[in-house]
Amino acid sequence: MSYNMLARRQQLMGPNVPTFYEDPVHIVRGQGVWLWDTEGRRYLDCYNNVPHVGHCHPKVVKAIAQQAAMLNTHTRYLHDGILDYIERLTVKFQHGLNQAIMVCTGSEANDIALRMAQAMTGKTGIIATDNTYHGNTTAVAQLSTRRPPIGGYPSHVRLVPAPDTVRPLGGSVQAQPQVFADNIAAAIAELEQAGHGFSGFMLCPTFANEGFPALLPGFLNPAVKVIRDAGGLILCDEVQPGFGRIGAAWWGHEWLGFSPDVVTVGKPMANGHPVAAVISRPDIMGAFRDAFGYFNTFGGNPVSCAAAMATLQVIEDEGLVENACDVGAYALDRLQAIQHPLKAEARGLGLFFGIEFVVDDGTPATDFTARVVEAMRHRGILLNRIGRHMNTLKMRPPMPFSRDNADMAINALEDVLKETRI
Amino acid sequence: MSYNMLARRQQLMGPNVPTFYEDPVHIVRGQGVWLWDTEGRRYLDCYNNVPHVGHCHPKVVKAIAQQAAMLNTHTRYLHDGILDYIERLTVKFQHGLNQAIMVCTGSEANDIALRMAQAMTGKTGIIATDNTYHGNTTAVAQLSTRRPPIGGYPSHVRLVPAPDTVRPLGGSVQAQPQVFADNIAAAIAELEQAGHGFSGFMLCPTFANEGFPALLPGFLNPAVKVIRDAGGLILCDEVQPGFGRIGAAWWGHEWLGFSPDVVTVGKPMANGHPVAAVISRPDIMGAFRDAFGYFNTFGGNPVSCAAAMATLQVIEDEGLVENACDVGAYALDRLQAIQHPLKAEARGLGLFFGIEFVVDDGTPATDFTARVVEAMRHRGILLNRIGRHMNTLKMRPPMPFSRDNADMAINALEDVLKETRI
């Protein structure tokens, strides 16, 4: 069955379409933190952040169905849905971030954020961390490409080494914040020298794709000073940490303790319905709309807004941020207590966990980590890997994840770690 | 009410958010070809192509609601929905276009199409028509920007004059196809000279945003020869003409009679749910995936596929392409029979119509056309304007538009034309 599906995918979707797992999972049903495959086998979802309030949450499904039956137009007509939602969303931000553009994907949101920095500064140079991912449009993919693009690497992009807690920049966790900032300062100088100038710095405040290092609040302070002194904007990609994922706060920047100029949100925003947004200040919004104009046909349509509003309501009604805090701390304690010769670190923020494996000399245990992921999948627990070396287990379940769910996942992980060949 | 809504929009969405009409319409409900505002007033929708099979079509709403309640994941798991849909969609294409990537917006689709041309040719130069619009990402917006971008106009983009039937290129409708091709040849030479090389030509096969000129099949033949001889790809943006809008065929390129290398579809594809796609040949798909890699979190999710499949099914079940042909011809006859001193041309393809107005010396009657649009809106008929000079009325109703609907709209138009100050 799987083999035929893969052949059919290749025939209809082309080569190299990514799937999870050596033996990909054929899912047909989801509810809460559970998924079922074609043979009725149940999986505990410890990976998916898009179904933020749980797969197929009935209140979100109902909101989508009701609005889809009532009206689905665009923002060139007036509609209360988008205004009610933006009002509700922006009260969750400080720093004067009180306006929003609604779009369909995090990629579209980040593509706008880059242009906001250009519009405010009149410059094009942009800095991001290496091994990051901010999306798939041409402009945004330039920040994360691993392959030389046609026409060569773009000269207006500079990448600085991402922070790491197992192999910290500058050799120590204490030195790392300043070294990170110094690298940004050097990149700014290069961009100025090359004639691009410096428009801004884009980051995920939890450096999730970079390996989700165990940073402490305040880490970014030296970098913020460098960026501010150079007149650049801070573009904060909250697609992964946002909407309470990290438990301690609604947004990653709030927890890390800095003031972004532009925030982007996406994936979990409407529990899987294609919705994303850019939140910013009126001065930046005005500069962007003056310089570029912008209209998005599907962005902010009444159905998308209803889906996003219902998702936000469920997060609050069901206390899911508090749950992320509670279950997150409980699970992290258990993960940190795991003893294994290759385990370098277990880190977590709310319901986002990374468990990193290295061999004796500090070499990333990439293959071992891959084997753990596959073994977990065969035990009915879905998780995956992140980081530069893909040697960090990534657990990031839907937000209604309970202590029982955590026990089930971690018990299985303990067994798998014992059984997996080193 | 409207005033407060506009102030609230400005406060929450920022300045310069585009709306239709001097007195924007506040829509709360839609069904078929009808829309209703907050005061219960009914409008005949003669403009919106996104609700392709009619606003809130019950079969599409049901498909969305059922799938949203069952499962909504992404393409890293296996699912039949995307395979069944791509299979069903691609049989509607010839020229070896039998694979697809599903994304969320036409902008994302065109952003990929540009990179497919780069991947196949190893070059970056791209040509489009002036006054076109292919989307809002940074890369795609470079083809349609009216404002100097930060950092200057990109040197790898060349724009050629779009065809026109009231003011044809080269002075005559007969000369126009070759003049259009000659301009492309000159642009290719410029791109080669500048060191970018020529990757491809992107067009809407009905030149909808350029004013929807009354071209004849075969128009593009000389241009196709020039593009092929130079080794470039033809990127066909079917976001507006696609899915039977033009009545005579499912796709604009099929009607105009040329063989594209890449086709993009969007807006009407899932009746308003954010879905779009890129359809191409296996060699191009392979080159793109080798050069760039690509994953879109929301693209091709089970709910999006269910919405797209239901929309396609309704188009067929209700004979909407045939209806576009029949009602389109009927309405075009009536539009062409209208006598008015400023009327230069009434043109149409299926359920897409342009009625162009000029004053005696050929000057575009832009203000007059704007007054007609506003007067129609106040009579409860929603339409708008297109073209370089915005002097062409644009009618492009949902596809279930009937002869009675056409009579209602055109009767109102006749009255408005008599009453509107020249």
Each residue's pLDDT, cut to its tens digit, for chain B (422 residues) gives 456 899 999 999 998 888 999 999 999 999 999 999 999 999 999 999 999 999 999 999 999 999 999 999 999 999 999 999 999 999 999 999 999 999 999 999 999 999 999 999 999 999 999 989 999 999 999 998 777 888 888 999 999 999 999 999 999 999 999 999 999 999 999 999 999 999 999 999 999 999 999 999 999 999 999 999 999 999 999 999 999 999 999 999 999 999 999 999 999 999 999 999 999 999 999 999 999 889 999 999 999 999 999 999 999 999 999 999 999 999 999 999 999 999 999 999 999 999 999 998 889 999 999 999 999 999 999 999 999 999 999 999 999 999 999 999 999 999 999 999 99
Strand segments, DSSP code E, in A86-149 are 99-103, 125-129
Please compute the mean of the pLDDT values over residues A7-30 and round it to a whole number: 94
Q: Which of B301, B253, B274 is nearest to B67 (CA)?
A: B301
Residues of B in contact with A135 (CB under 8 A): none
Q: Which of A352, A391, A387 is nearest to A368 (CA)?
A: A391
Distance of residue A36 Cα from the nearest chain B Cα, in angstroms: 10
Q: How many CB pairs under 8 A join A and B?
A: 333
Please, what's the largest Cα pairwise distance for chain A? 63
* pLDDT tens-digit readout, A85-131: 999 999 999 999 999 999 999 999 999 999 999 999 999 999 999 98
Query: What is the β-pairing status of strands A262-265 and A233-237?
Result: parallel
What crossing angle do the helices spanning A302-317 and A80-90 adopt, rounded to 10°?
A: 40
Contact between B32 and B54 under an 8 Å Cβ cutoff? The reply is: yes
Contact between B15 and A289 under an 8 Å Cβ cutoff? The reply is: yes
Q: Which of B86, B97, B137, B384 has the most A C-beta neighbours within 10 Å, making it the best mutation to test the interface with A?
A: B137
pLDDT at residue B304 in the model:
98
Residues 6+ apart with CB under 8 A from A12: B82, B83, B86, B87, B90, B98, B99, B100
CB contact under 8 Å between B119 and A150, yes or no, is: yes
Residues 6+ apart with CB under 8 A from A4: none
What's the rounded Cα separation, in Å, for the pair A303 and B55? 12
Contact between B90 and B314 under an 8 Å Cβ cutoff? The reply is: no
CATH 3.90.1150.10 assigned to B2-53+319-419? yes
Asked if residue A2 has pLDDT above 80, the reply is no
CB contact under 8 Å between B30 and A291, yes or no, is: no
CB contact under 8 Å between B147 and A101, yes or no, is: no
What's the rounded Cα separation, in Å, for the pair A391 and A386? 7
Residue ranges, CATH 3.40.640.10, chain A? 58-317
Residues of B in contact with A306 (CB under 8 A): none
**Containing H/E element for B305?**
helix B302-317
Q: Which fold has domain A58-317?
A: Aspartate Aminotransferase; domain 2 (3.40.640)
Q: Which of B398, B391, B370, B373 is nearest to B383 (CA)?
A: B373
What's the rounded Cα separation, in Å, for the pair B402 and B141? 36
Name the strands in the sheet holding B27-31, side by side, starting at the edge strand that comes first in the sequence: B27-31, B34-37, B42-45, B381-382
Asked if residue A224 has pLDDT above 90, the reply is yes
Residues of A in contact with B72 (CB under 8 A): 30, 50-51, 55-56, 271-273
- Shortest CB distance from A105 goes to which of B86, B104, B156? B104
Distance of residue B183 Cα from the nearest chain A Cα, in angstroms: 25
What's the rounded Cα separation, in Å, for the pair A128 and A116? 15
**3-state percent helix, strand, coil for chain A, nearest multiple of 5:** 40, 20, 40
Distance of residue B341 Cα from the nearest chain A Cα, in angstroms: 31
Would you state the structure tokens that stand for residue A81, as one six-digit string? Answer: 């849905």
Task: Check residue B78 and report its DSSP letter.
Answer: B
Q: What is the number of alpha carbons within 13 Å of residue B272 lying toward its C-beta?
A: 28
- Shortest CB distance from A27 goes to which of B11, B77, B105? B77
Asked if residue A10 has pLDDT above 90, the reply is yes
Contact between B199 and B118 under an 8 Å Cβ cutoff? The reply is: yes
Average pLDDT, chain A: 96
Would you state the structure tokens that stand for residue A210, as one six-digit string? Answer: 């970079």
Q: Which of B100, B123, B121, B122 is nearest to B112 (CA)?
A: B100
Which residue bears the tokens 């047909």? A28
Contact between A202 and A114 under an 8 Å Cβ cutoff? The reply is: yes
CB contact under 8 Å between A56 and B78, yes or no, is: no
**Containing H/E element for A279?**
strand A276-280
Contact between B250 and B328 under an 8 Å Cβ cutoff? The reply is: no
pLDDT at residue B3 in the model:
64
Instruction: For chain B, state the CA radius of gyration.
Output: 21
Distance of alpha carbon B174 from the chain centroid: 26
Residues of A in contact with B119 (CB under 8 A): 150
The residues that bridge with B29 in the sheet, in sequence order, are B36
What's the rounded Cα separation, in Å, for the pair B386 and B301? 34
Contact between B407 and B414 under an 8 Å Cβ cutoff? The reply is: no
pTM: 0.97
CB contact under 8 Å between B27 and A64, yes or no, is: no
Residues of B in contact with A107 (CB under 8 A): 108, 296
- For B53-92, b/e burial (b = at least 16 CB within 10 A) is bbbbbeebbebbbebbbbbbbbbbbbbebbbebbeebbeb
Residues of A in contact with B123 (CB under 8 A): 150-151
pLDDT at residue A40 in the model:
97
* pLDDT tens-digit readout, A324-370: 999 999 999 999 999 999 999 999 999 999 999 999 888 999 999 99
CB contact under 8 Å between A72 and B19, yes or no, is: no
What's the rounded Cα separation, in Å, for the pair B142 and B136? 9
pLDDT at residue A145 in the model:
76
Q: What angle do CA A208, A14, B200 make, to 5 degrees?
A: 95
The identity of residue B402, as a single letter, is S
CB contact under 8 Å between A282 and B122, yes or no, is: no
The identity of residue B263, as a single letter, is V
Q: What is the DSSP annotation of A302-341?
A: HHHHHHHHHHHHHHHHTTHHHHHHHHHHHHHHHHHH---T
Residues of B in contact with A64 (CB under 8 A): 64-65, 68
Asked if residue A1 has pLDDT above 60, the reply is no
Nearest CA in chain A to B197: A151
Residues of A in contact with B60 (CB under 8 A): 68
Residues 6+ apart with CB under 8 A from B385: B369, B370, B373, B391, B392, B393, B394
pLDDT at residue A147 in the model:
80
Q: Is the ipTM of this complex over 0.85?
A: yes
3-state secondary structure of A80: helix
Contact between B134 and B143 under an 8 Å Cβ cutoff? The reply is: yes
CB contact under 8 Å between A151 and B196, yes or no, is: yes
Q: What angle do CA A334, A336, A22 make, to 5 degrees?
A: 85
What's the rounded Cα separation, in Å, for the pair A81 and A194? 45
Distance of residue A152 Cα from the nearest chain B Cα, in angstroms: 10
Residues of A in contact with B48 (CB under 8 A): 73
The identity of residue B275, as a single letter, is V
Q: How far is CA B277 from CA A8, A201, A411, B26, B243, in A?
A: 18, 31, 42, 31, 12
What's the rounded Cα separation, in Å, for the pair B87 and A286? 44
CB contact under 8 Å between A25 and B77, yes or no, is: yes
Nearest CA in chain A to B118: A150
pLDDT at residue B145 in the model:
76
What's the rounded Cα separation, in Å, for the pair A60 and A398? 14
Where residue A230 falls among pLDDT bands split at 50, 70, 90? very high
Residues 6+ apart with CB under 8 A from B131: B144, B162, B209, B210, B211, B387, B388
Residues of A in contact with B266 (CB under 8 A): 297
CB contact under 8 Å between B272 and A73, yes or no, is: yes
Distance of residue B11 Cα from the nearest chain A Cα, in angstroms: 7
User: In this structure, what is the dihedral angle of CA atoms B130, B136, B138, B139, given to the nearest 10 degrees?
Assistant: -50
Which residue bears the tokens 């990514």? A18
CB contact under 8 Å between A289 and B15, yes or no, is: yes
Contact between A201 and A184 under an 8 Å Cβ cutoff? The reply is: yes
What's the rounded Cα separation, in Å, for the pair A72 and A299? 11
* pLDDT tens-digit readout, A265-304: 999 999 999 999 999 999 999 999 999 889 999 999 999 9
pLDDT at residue A149 in the model:
80
Would you state the structure tokens that stand for residue A98, as one six-digit string? Answer: 């009180």
Residue ranges, CATH 3.90.1150.10, chain A? 2-53+319-419
